[in-house]
């Protein structure tokens, strides 16, 4: 038996387009602009033109940013409850007009009506409901934060309305105003949303919708009136945005590409796994950032599983996306079809086997049949590149260890699926996968309460959940920070050539892998006290020393696996051993800086160690209960290896304030101590040696902040760099260089901190910088 056609009517959507004369201006300051320069928006299923949409100019962006700026204080003043009511109203209106939105989205994007109706729309509405709740609770739950200000948001074409909801709902809830740009292929649902904003009573200027291509995106990114950027799209453009915003002080979150593994163990329910795979790689024609595009199957069931997959692929119905019984619709644009075709043909040329079911695709429009590639090497282009189409690359593995290794063998880290009937195996594997989301025995589940976002080159920042809200907020303590003190003058330094008769013997060494190590270069610098006395020579670390330290840090992976209790104990122990030698440390601080409160600094350092030791086993994750039968466990995982360039002032307290929280959460650290006054950090070697800190968990390299920060930011095996020495140019450089590997950064720019003030030293916000959230979805029942 076959299904007959069940087409959805487009009458209402066409009438809406007609009512606008099939020509749209921009939505700025609560009103429509005239459509000046326009371009066509097409239905990819048949190539017909749906409407003309405006290519925004620089002047348009200026007006939109200005409107958003003017509207922001009033939006904040409306209060949490006032904003909650508006967000609630948006959610209600999305539901009320859900069919119109769903059909319009299908017409514009080519995705099936089943998906727009059953996934995009309900999830978008849920996002506004959920964030109405965060607005309501903001003063309680985020009391120490304020809105960022004006937010620029740029989204791709694969989930036009859903991505809009993911971006706009949290931004508005937190009290920001937005300048939002949809992708040029799919602007229409955002324009319909603008109308909904008018109906919902969103004040003029709070939501501005500007359409156009990448040039409009660029204008938003570079606009000085934008305080934060939220981008979803290709890794390539994400990198451009990272570079463009480096040093500008703009907050940034990036949700980029993926090449997510779909792992099937031999004890999995294979039929259920096949259905999961369909949702994973053939949902939205595979144009999903977290698509399970790499199938990894345990060897013993591989042939059987592949046969089941092929049988299921034969049953996938490809055709008009408006037909409710079709599974696979059109690709967004012929350009994507050509891109996918090119990648698949290159795999064929390399000897891979390409399999497609025998099926017809419509003549007009952009289509691609579901495709299975086997026989590709793990390094093949199709196994590493985001294809962004209905193309699955399959291979096998033998052991769980090999599955993890293959799963992590990509530059991306967005999502993963693990299929096994053994909960113990699945929960053992999930934390080992470097990805922001892991679905156990399910796939492509999303919910507003559960954060979503990547590890590695899949970007940083989260959307959804409490962690998603903090992306749109700034800790109040940041506003209170003073300008960075000029400190370099105080501790006089002079470089000495390594071949001077004393340099080598009298040089304080670096601390790498738990051992003191001579610096690679034969250079040292003399540290002169405030009274002009020579205090010591300090090794001038270089690129090679950083490389050694990174290697040592990676070898110390046991620290990340140590129990939080154990990490807390070590930090307490360091505090205890430091307290025993308080006088000695105070004398050294005084000698270097002339500080009147050197004793206070040691005391505060001991207390801060206690503070972070206390947090080590208390920064627990959350258990979310999204609308499914199961739970989602949000785990706070360490970021990995963090390079920390410490402040120049308060050489002990500044160092401890940054290094201790990073260690507390299981990160391994390469710390670059105060450039002017490094000796307090070096005096810690003996404290560390007697405190059970495993070798390599903390490595200390002294030397030029600029040079060492540069090396850390460029190093592909460093996962994050923090720089808080008040050098605006240095921070900008770190952000720029980090773009290559898309590592996370935390920089203070030209601002300093009062390190004695726990909140200014970072407060609890440091915990967010020291961790990344992984959401593990665990449905239950049979």
Binding site for ligand NAI (CB under 6 A): 154-158, 181, 183-184, 213-214, 217-218, 221, 232-234, 237, 240-241, 256-257, 289, 336, 339, 386, 388
Return all residues near 301 (Cβ < 8 A) that are at least 6 apart. Answer: 264, 266, 268, 270
**DSSP-derived pairing of the beta strands 353-355 and 415-419:** unpaired
Q: What are phi and psi of 751, to 5 degrees?
A: -80, 145
Q: Which is nearer to ligand NAI, 453 or 748 (CB)?
A: 453
Q: Which is nearer to ligand NAI, 175 or 217 (CB)?
A: 217
Phi-psi region of 763 (alpha: psi -120 to 50; beta: other; left: phi over 0): left
Q: Is 255 considered catalytic here? A: yes
Q: Closest by alpha carbon to 397, among 484, 296, 548, 468?
A: 296
Q: Closest by alpha carbon to 153, among 227, 57, 203?
A: 227
Phi-psi region of 744 (alpha: psi -120 to 50; beta: other; left: phi over 0): beta
Per the listing, tokens 């409009």 go with 216
Handedness of CA 180, 183, 189, 191 (dihedral sign): positive
Q: Which is nearer to ligand NAI, 234 or 374 (CB)?
A: 234
Q: Which is nearer to ligand NAI, 211 or 420 (CB)?
A: 211
The length of the chain, given as a count of residues: 782
Q: Which two tokens stand for residue 200?
A: 């919902």
- Closest distance between ligand NAI and the C-beta of residue 336, in Å? 6
Full DSSP string of 141-188: HTTTEEE--EEEEE--SSSHHHHHHHHHHHHHHTT-EEEEE--TT--H
- Closest distance between ligand NAI and the C-beta of residue 157, in Å? 6
Handedness of CA 502, 504, 505, 507 (dihedral sign): positive
Please report, for residues 167, 182, 207, the alpha-carbon distance to residue 26 in angstroms, rounded to integers and kept in the order given: 18, 11, 11
Alpha helix ranges (H) inside 509-652: 543-555, 558-561, 564-580, 582-593, 598-616
Q: Which is nearer to ligand NAI, 163 or 652 (CB)?
A: 163
User: At CA 316, angle to CA 314 and CA 321, rounded to 5?
Assistant: 150
Q: Which is nearer to ligand NAI, 336 or 442 (CB)?
A: 336
Q: Which is nearer to ligand NAI, 155 or 165 (CB)?
A: 155
Q: Which is nearer to ligand NAI, 255 or 733 (CB)?
A: 255
Q: What are phi and psi of 159, to 5 degrees?
A: -135, 70
Active site residue: 255, 386, 540, 675, which one?
255
Rg (CA), the chain: 28
User: At CA 238, angle to CA 234 and CA 239, rounded to 5?
Assistant: 120
- Closest distance between ligand NAI and the C-beta of residue 171, in Å? 17
- Which residue pairs, CB below 8 angstroms and at least 24 apart, start in 244-249? 244/218, 245/221, 245/735, 246/732, 246/733, 246/734, 246/735, 246/736, 246/738, 246/739, 247/728, 247/729, 247/731, 247/732, 247/733, 247/735, 247/736, 247/749, 248/224, 248/732, 249/749
Per the listing, tokens 């002032």 go with 649
The DSSP code for 471 is: T
The DSSP code for 446 is: -
User: At CA 438, angle to CA 435 and CA 439, rounded to 5?
Assistant: 155
Q: Closest by alpha carbon to 83, among 153, 121, 133?
A: 133
CB nearest ligand NAI: which residue? 217
CA distance 354 to 569: 55
CA distance 711 to 705: 10
The DSSP code for 460 is: E
Enumerate the β-bridge partners of residue 295: 262, 394
Q: Which is nearer to ligand NAI, 230 or 535 (CB)?
A: 230
Q: Which is nearer to ligand NAI, 709 or 742 (CB)?
A: 742
8 A C-beta contact, residue 582 and residue 743: no
The DSSP code for 383 is: H
Q: Which is nearer to ligand NAI, 154 or 200 (CB)?
A: 154
Q: Which is nearer to ligand NAI, 218 or 735 (CB)?
A: 218
SS3 label, residue 125: helix
Q: Which is nearer to ligand NAI, 177 or 232 (CB)?
A: 232
- Closest distance between ligand NAI and the C-beta of residue 230, in Å? 11
In 216-265, where do the E strands start and end? 228-232, 251-255, 261-264
8 A C-beta contact, residue 221 and residue 241: yes
- Closest distance between ligand NAI and the C-beta of residue 459, in Å? 8
Q: Which two tokens stand for residue 635?
A: 């785990």
Q: What are phi and psi of 676, to 5 degrees?
A: -80, -35
- Closest distance between ligand NAI and the C-beta of residue 683, in Å? 47
The residues assigned a catalytic role are 255
């Amino acid at each position: 038996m076959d299904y007959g056609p069940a087409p959805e009517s487009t009458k209402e959507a066409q009438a809406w387009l007609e009512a606008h004369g099939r020509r749209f201006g921009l939505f700025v300051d609560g009103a429509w602009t005239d459509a000046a320069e326009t371009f066509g928006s097409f239905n990819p299923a048949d190539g017909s033109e749906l409407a003309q949409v405006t290519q925004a100019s620089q002047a348009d962006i200026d007006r939109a940013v200005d409107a958003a700026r003017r509207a922001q204080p009033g939006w904040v003043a409306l209060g949490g409850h006032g904003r909650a009511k508006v967000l609630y109203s948006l959610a209600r209106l999305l539901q009320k007009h859900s069919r119109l939105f769903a059909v319009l989205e299908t017409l514009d994007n080519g995705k099936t009506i089943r998906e727009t109706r059953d996934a995009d729309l309900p999830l978008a509405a849920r996002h506004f409901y959920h964030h109405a709740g965060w607005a309501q609770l903001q003063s309680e739950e985020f009391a120490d934060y304020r809105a960022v200000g004006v937010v620029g948001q740029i989204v791709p074409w694969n989930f036009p309305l859903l991505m809009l909801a993911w971006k706009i709902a949290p931004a508005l809830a937190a009290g920001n105003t937005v300048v939002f740009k949809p992708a040029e292929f799919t602007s229409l649902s955002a324009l319909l949303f603008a109308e909904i904003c008018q109906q919902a009573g969103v004040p003029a200027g709070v939501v501005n919708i500007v359409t156009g291509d990448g040039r409009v995106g660029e204008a938003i990114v570079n606009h000085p009136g934008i305080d934060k950027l939220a981008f979803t799209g290709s890794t390539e453009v994400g990198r451009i945005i990272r570079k463009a915003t480096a040093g500008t002080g703009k907050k940034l979150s990036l949700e980029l590409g993926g090449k997510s593994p779909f792992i099937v163990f031999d004890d999995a329910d294979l039929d259920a796994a096949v259905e999961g795979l369909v949702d994973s790689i053939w949902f939205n024609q595979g144009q999903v950032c977290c698509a399970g595009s790499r199938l990894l199957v345990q060897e013993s069931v591989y042939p059987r599983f592949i046969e089941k997959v092929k049988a299921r692929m034969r049953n996938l119905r490809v055709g008009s996306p408006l037909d409710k019984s079709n599974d696979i619709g059109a690709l967004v644009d012929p350009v994507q079809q050509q891109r996918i075709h090119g990648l698949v043909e290159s795999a064929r040329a390399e000897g891979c086997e390409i399999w497609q079911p025998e099926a017809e695709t419509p003549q007009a429009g952009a289509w691609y049949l579901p495709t299975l590639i086997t026989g590709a090497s793990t390094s093949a282009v199709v196994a590493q590149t985001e294809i962004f189409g209905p193309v699955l690359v399959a291979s096998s593995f033998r052991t769980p260890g090999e599955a993890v290794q293959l799963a992590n063998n990509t530059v991306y880290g967005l999502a993963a699926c693990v299929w096994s009937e053994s909960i113990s195996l699945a929960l053992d594997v999930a934390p080992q996968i470097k990805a922001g989301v892991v679905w156990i025995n399910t796939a492509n589940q999303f919910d507003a309460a559960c954060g979503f976002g990547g590890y590695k080159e899949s970007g940083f920042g989260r959307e959804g959940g409490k962690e998603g809200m903090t992306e749109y907020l700034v800790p109040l303590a940041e506003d209170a920070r003073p300008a960075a003190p000029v400190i370099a003058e105080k501790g006089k330094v002079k470089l000495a050539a390594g071949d001077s008769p004393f340099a080598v013997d009298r040089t304080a060494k670096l601390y790498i892998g738990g051992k003191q190590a001579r610096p690679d270069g034969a250079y040292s610098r003399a540290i002169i006290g405030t009274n002009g006395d020579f205090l010591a020579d300090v090794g001038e670390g270089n690129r090679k020393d950083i490389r050694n330290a990174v290697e040592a840090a990676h070898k110390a992976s046991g620290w990340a696996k140590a129990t939080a209790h154990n990490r807390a104990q070590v930090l307490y122990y360091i505090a205890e051993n430091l307290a025993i030698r308080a006088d000695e440390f105070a004398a050294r601080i005084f000698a270097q800086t002339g500080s009147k409160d050197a004793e206070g600094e040691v005391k505060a350092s001991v207390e801060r160690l206690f503070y972070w030791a206390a947090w080590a086993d208390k920064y627990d994750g959350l258990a979310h209960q999204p609308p499914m039968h199961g739970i989602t466990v949000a785990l706070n995982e360490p970021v990995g290896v963090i390079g920390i360039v410490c402040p120049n002032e308060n050489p002990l307290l500044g160092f401890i304030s940054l290094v201790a929280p990073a260690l507390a959460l299981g990160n391994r650290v390469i710390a670059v101590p105060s450039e002017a006054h490094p000796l307090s950090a070096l005096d810690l070697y003996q404290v560390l040696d007697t405190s059970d800190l495993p070798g390599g968990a903390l490595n200390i390299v002294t030397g030029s902040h600029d040079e060492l920060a540069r090396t850390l930011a460029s190093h592909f095996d460093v996962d994050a760099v923090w720089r808080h020495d008040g050098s605006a140019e240095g921070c900008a450089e770190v952000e720029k260089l980090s773009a290559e590997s898309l590592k996370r950064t935390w920089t203070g720019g030209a601002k300093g901190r009062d390190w004695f003030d726990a909140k200014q030293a970072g407060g609890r916000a440091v915990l967010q910088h020291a961790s990344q959230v992984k959401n593990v979805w665990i449905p239950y029942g049979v």
